[in-house]
Amino acid sequence: MNVIAKRKFLAAAGFILLALIPARASFAQAFLEETDATYINLGLISYSTDYVLQEDVSAITFKIRNNTSRSISSLFAWVYRFQEGQEGVPGNFLLVNNPHRGSVTVKGGAHPPGRIREWRFEIVKRQRTAIGNEEYTLRVSPKSIFYLNIEPNPPPKKPDGPRETRQ
């Protein structure tokens, strides 16, 4: 190829890539708008504002989405209880869990990338009184997310039809 043909080829490839980037961004934006209605993005993870508090206020369960490309093995976080003021401004934040104790996945096992899993956080005994008008929030540091050293193999694909057998 001569120099002019190479330049034309590179220019055509560049225009094609520029045409594909907005299409991919609009797809990603539509996905985020569809799934992020109740999720708060913290960067490496996102958590749902629809948490489940046990009746005896001994634990709280958050739905957490793994935004990374690796499987999460353990997660340490701060869970705060707060009340909203009259102007709608949150206040009176109170730490209700021990952030040095890790959380537990409800279904067990590692949290694969791009998936949503439920994580349960234990609430400290002295903070188990509930007034009724409080809410809970989650704070996670990137340093408190631990990953698997070796990623598990993907599940095997099932064959489409019957296997051929030799006779």
Share of the chain above pLDDT 70, in %: 73
pLDDT digits (tens, 9 = 90+) for 106-156: 988 899 999 999 999 999 988 777 667 789 999 999 999 999 998 888 778
The pTM (predicted TM-score) of the whole model is: 0.69
pLDDT on residue 67: 95
CA distance 90 to 86: 9
Q: How far apart are CA 68 and CA 135, in angstroms?
A: 27
Q: Does 30 have pLDDT greater than 50?
A: no
DSSP states along 44-71: SEEEES--EE-TTSSEEEEEEEE-SSS-
- AA identity, residue 118: E
Q: Are 59 and 113 in contact (CB under 8 A)?
A: no
Give mean pLDDT, residues 72-76. 95
**Bridging pattern class, strands 45-48 and 104-105:** unpaired
Structure tokens at 166: 């030799």
Letter for the amino acid at 27? F
Which of 2-11, 64-73, 126-135 has the least mean pLDDT? 2-11
